[in-house]
A = this chain, B = another copy of it.
Amino acid sequence: MKKLINDPADVVKEALQGIAAAHSDRLRVLTEPNNIVRADSPVQGKVALVSGGGSGHEPMHGGFVGMGMLDAACPGEVFTSPTPDQMLAATQAVDGGAGVLHIVKNYTGDVLNFEMAADLARAEGIEVEAVVIDDDVAVKDSLYTAGRRGVGATVLAEKICGAAAEQRRPLAEVAELCRTVNANSRSMGMALTSCTVPAAGKPTFELGATEMEIGIGIHGEPGRRRMEVASAHDVVGLLATPIVEDLPFSAGDKVLAFVNSMGGTPLIELYVVYNELNHFLADRGIEISRNLIGPFITSLEMQGCSITLLKLDDELTALWDAPVNTPGLRWGA
């Protein structure tokens, strides 16, 4: 296993120390239990956004803590759900009196633990709503999931709902917006190589020297099919066709197109993919009016990409464009 780490058991702890040292202007890292919270939390009168999940998908979620996005992120060990007590502690730490929204990717452990944390927080008088993200069209059920997996739409929901919370919209409205983003998003991913969980020390799955897997999950969960490596043109067809057919997206739609690196695929390849996606959508009369290209929801060092499309309206577009200041996503007004 070739990785820039020390003891595999310390990867998450030490990465959190690095995040704390690097970004103390925007966030604080708590320990026992581990949580990443906004430096200025709790923000009084603002709905607080909490997300979380296994580590190994950086910058998600800790890199999305800051003004205009998350108030807290609960990092589990690599590809392992955080615990209910972590989620409860995060919820308590960032509640500013206007309630807390849990944004939960649809993996069974995450969903159960966030449900338990929400119950505990409500028992303490904190108003909590939860929205489960399930945008991955690849498979109906998966290794760790009943129903569709939650993937790229999570990043978009955290940005858009974060902007709405900054406008001091009430909890019910921010939660409804989160459901809208999820309902308007579809994703699918693929892998050229496996990744290696540090504690396991060997690849999560085996792919032949000329094979790829279409529909892969962000923890290496099986996808739709394993096949010979194809051109970027054909890969985009294999990912974007089921995405477009599922919603369905149709001529005249404006979309946010998100081309994500699984971690080990460099930007030059993502731009080749984006170029193909742009042509694919233009051929169908679908206009890309916003885009996001880079490693935002990763699977350690896995090579591959995922595509997420979000159908936009004026409100979602304005919230996407609103200022954000996190380590992972940052722009001004």
* B-side contacts of A209, CB under 8 Å: 2
* B-side contacts of A14, CB under 8 Å: 232, 271-272, 275-276
A330 to B303, CA, bound (A): 26
Chain A, 295-314, CB within 8 A of any chain B CB = 295, 298, 300-301, 303-305
Asked if B295 contacts A5 (CB within 8 A), the reply is no
Contact stretch, chosen from A53-61, A101-109, A149-157, A166-174: A53-61
Contact for A4 among B2, B16, B265, B301, CB less than 8 A: B265
Contact stretch, chosen from A17-25, A134-142, A215-223: A17-25
A6 to B192, CA, bound (A): 15
* B-side contacts of A63, CB under 8 Å: 267
Interface residues of A, count at CB 8 A: 63
Asked if B3 contacts A278 (CB within 8 A), the reply is no
Asked if A4 contacts B235 (CB within 8 A), the reply is yes
Asked if B18 contacts A274 (CB within 8 A), the reply is yes
Asked if B267 contacts A5 (CB within 8 A), the reply is no
Asked if A275 contacts B18 (CB within 8 A), the reply is yes
Known contacts A6-B232, A275-B18, A266 near B192 by CB under 8 Å:
no
* B-side contacts of A3, CB under 8 Å: 192, 269
**A20 → chain B closest CB, angstroms:** 9
Asked if A15 contacts B268 (CB within 8 A), the reply is yes
* B-side contacts of A2, CB under 8 Å: 192-193, 209-210, 212, 229, 303
Known contacts A17-B275, A271-B22, A298-B266, A232 near B323 by CB under 8 Å:
no
A211 to B12, CA, bound (A): 24
**A205 → chain B closest CB, angstroms:** 15
Asked if A4 contacts B330 (CB within 8 A), the reply is no
Q: Confirm or deny: A252 has a beta carbon within 8 angstroms of a beta carbon on chain B.
A: no
Chain A, 168-204, CB within 8 A of any chain B CB = 192-193
Residue of B nearest to A209 (CB): B2
The 5 closest A-B pairs by CB, nearest first: A332-B332, A18-B271, A18-B275, A58-B267, A263-B266
Q: What would 8 A/B residue contacts be, using CB atoms closer than 8 Å?
A: A11-B268, A18-B270, A18-B274, A18-B293, A58-B267, A58-B268, A325-B332, A332-B332
Other than the known A2-B209, A18-B271, A58-B271, what 9 A-B pairs have Cβ atoms closer than 8 Å? A2-B210, A5-B269, A14-B232, A14-B276, A15-B269, A15-B272, A22-B271, A78-B268, A265-B301
